[in-house]
Chain A
């Protein structure tokens, strides 16, 4: 019986079980060990904010070489934009909004040339793309005669690196403003009415917010792609306070006189005259024209009469006071927007970069202008013995 007992199937399978168990134990342990030791090759984690996953460059579609699959964002090389509005018309969801101002005849404003040597005929004071509305169809890219609007990434990587992180905390953040036209330019080109309209819109917005009971006074902030010179889209952007505006000139019926008057108005405004001198100049200018009447002169003079006391008498309400504060500031002296701190990022040496940024922040608090800032930066670098020729050149470029 004894031999039979030890050789029975039960006993054999019992020991087989145990040996199988030990074998699988060892094979399991060796598997995990292998994974742990070869972590260099095997670890699959990509530490996202520190490392970024390259966007695969894969083309599908009709013509492989041209069809751009990677459309992470629309980008505009605004210096090349001639304001032809082709992209705005092509957009099926109307997420591109462009305003253009054409210089009137006789205005010698230089609009510049594109990189294709096309002479620009107008300026583009507004070029916003609402990426929250964009559906990435790429249709706006093809009509552009200057090839200045394109999707970022993919085959366009040579023009613009892949940038797929543009999430924002507020929906307004998705509105990208590309225009780099300054208020100065708009005034120079004779776009007073454009600024007027903008001001009116802004006032309406503020009034609407007041009626809605929104306490926040800060206007909508827009992400500015090209931060060199900011287009003042908000209350600060609106024209100088003045009771005498080209609007009152629009009441003149005779087109010839109206045009001349406006021209003179612009010229005198450039010269920095006050309202009374402006009116004098206008009267002088239009006297010799055909349609000039005594009535008109009276009208203009009456404007002159009301101009002075009204400024003094104006008792600002709360909202308008804020607008005025913002408005009255620059104009008299040339606006020189301080260059952006992002420019400093171009410097590779981290020590120099850090020093410059510190100086920049300190200077910004003191409201320094470009040239003063650059001088300060130079001094600071010299005291630390970091200054060399290329840096001086770079800083002077910033100063301009």
Chain B
């Protein structure tokens, strides 16, 4: 597995650039790529979210806005220009700073959240060998960086000088910190089995044996716990008590508008993609094709595997999980605060601990 930063640095070497300049350029290229990916994903995902929700509620969703008159369809799939129009509208609306707000913190907060999402992408693979930077502690790095956002949330809630914002921020902090525990305990299982924190090693183990979701019954439960906890980390319904529009207006985003709100939005959707990619890498075989679920076919049959197909499979899995997130969102009502804590502390954490115990025994017996 190679880092794309290293590859870029190598390709710059014939130019005889000073090392510092070359590093900055290659980092910039990668950063822009991540940003574009996030923006593209947010644009597409918002459109699909609206469509999925509409179909689940027997509506049609956006049908009118098109791109240069091309709407995409007349019957069910129309209005593909809707999110683009929304984005333009968002970027052109006034960016309001309340008088009594702590202005410095309020300006900084969305960028901290955004940086959390952006930095997480550094450790996230897109296919076999396509990763911005390959750490030997990859999973740990992703876990750590995806938790940075909570600082931004608390800052945003506090700086807004608004009771709804503060309530939302407090709830969000409580929720995210709580659900880090089952999340971490579930990630621990593949790490325990493989014996490495490196993402390439984890997928390599799955290529040799089987996808982790079929490793043992406990691993299946672990996947479920991981995915639902990830859902809670992204503050999406049914775990959207920090935003809870019927209780808290918009939670910690209440006072934000325009570009800074757009950044919150971008980060939220980026987090969705991160959770989905990490879930599919850890439990669903990452960039492996579905033919390698149990590693029973000979190597010559596996013509659907490779770097390019890897991108396709990884994103297919991730986008399916994103769809499941939308499916959850438009099916379940919001949890109460006590139910949320009950689910985390009384259900997920005991089960995750039991999983850890049983998987350890499983490994002792079967390997």
The answer to whether A32 touches B58, judged by C-beta atoms less than 8 angstroms apart, is no
A271 is an interface residue with CB less than 8 A from chain B: no
A64 is an interface residue with CB less than 8 A from chain B: no
Task: Write out the residue numbers on chain B whose beta carbons fall within 8 Å of the beta carbon of A42.
Answer: 58
The answer to whether A32 touches B76, judged by C-beta atoms less than 8 angstroms apart, is no
The answer to whether B347 touches A35, judged by C-beta atoms less than 8 angstroms apart, is no
Kindly count the residue-residue contacts between A and B in the assembled complex, taking CB atoms under 8 Å apart: 38
The answer to whether B76 touches A43, judged by C-beta atoms less than 8 angstroms apart, is yes
Name B328's closest neighbour in chain A (CB-CB).
Answer: A29
B341 is an interface residue with CB less than 8 A from chain A: no
The answer to whether B55 touches A43, judged by C-beta atoms less than 8 angstroms apart, is yes
Q: Which of B26-66 contact A (CB under 8 A)?
A: 52, 55-60, 63
* Residue-wise interface mask of B (119-144) relative to A, using a CB-CB cutoff of 8 A (1 in contact, 0 not): 00000000000000000000000000
Give the contact-size bracket for chain B. Answer: 10 to 19
Name B351's closest neighbour in chain A (CB-CB).
Answer: A18
Task: Write out the residue numbers on chain A whose beta carbons fall within 8 Å of the beta carbon of B332.
Answer: 25, 28
B331 is an interface residue with CB less than 8 A from chain A: yes
A294 is an interface residue with CB less than 8 A from chain B: no
Name A35's closest neighbour in chain B (CB-CB).
Answer: B56
Nearest CB of A to B53, in Å: 9
The answer to whether A36 touches B56, judged by C-beta atoms less than 8 angstroms apart, is yes
The answer to whether B55 touches A35, judged by C-beta atoms less than 8 angstroms apart, is yes
B327 is an interface residue with CB less than 8 A from chain A: yes
A32 CA / B58 CA spacing, docked (Å): 10
B330 is an interface residue with CB less than 8 A from chain A: yes
A164 is an interface residue with CB less than 8 A from chain B: no
Task: Write out the residue numbers on chain A whose beta carbons fall within 8 Å of the beta carbon of B58.
Answer: 35, 39, 42-45
* Residue-wise interface mask of A (17-28) relative to B, using a CB-CB cutoff of 8 A (1 in contact, 0 not): 010000001001
A33 is an interface residue with CB less than 8 A from chain B: yes
The answer to whether B331 touches A43, judged by C-beta atoms less than 8 angstroms apart, is no
A39 CA / B74 CA spacing, docked (Å): 14
Q: Which of B56-95 contact A (CB under 8 A)?
A: 56-60, 63, 74, 76
Nearest CB of B to A270, in Å: 55
A31 is an interface residue with CB less than 8 A from chain B: yes
Q: List 23 A-B contacts (CB under 8 A).
A: A25-B332, A28-B331, A29-B331, A31-B331, A32-B56, A32-B330, A32-B331, A35-B56, A35-B57, A35-B58, A36-B52, A36-B56, A39-B76, A43-B55, A43-B59, A43-B60, A43-B76, A44-B58, A45-B59, A45-B60, A47-B60, A47-B63, A50-B74
Which B residues fall within an 8 A CB radius of A?
Answer: 52, 55-60, 63, 74, 76, 327-328, 330-332, 346-347
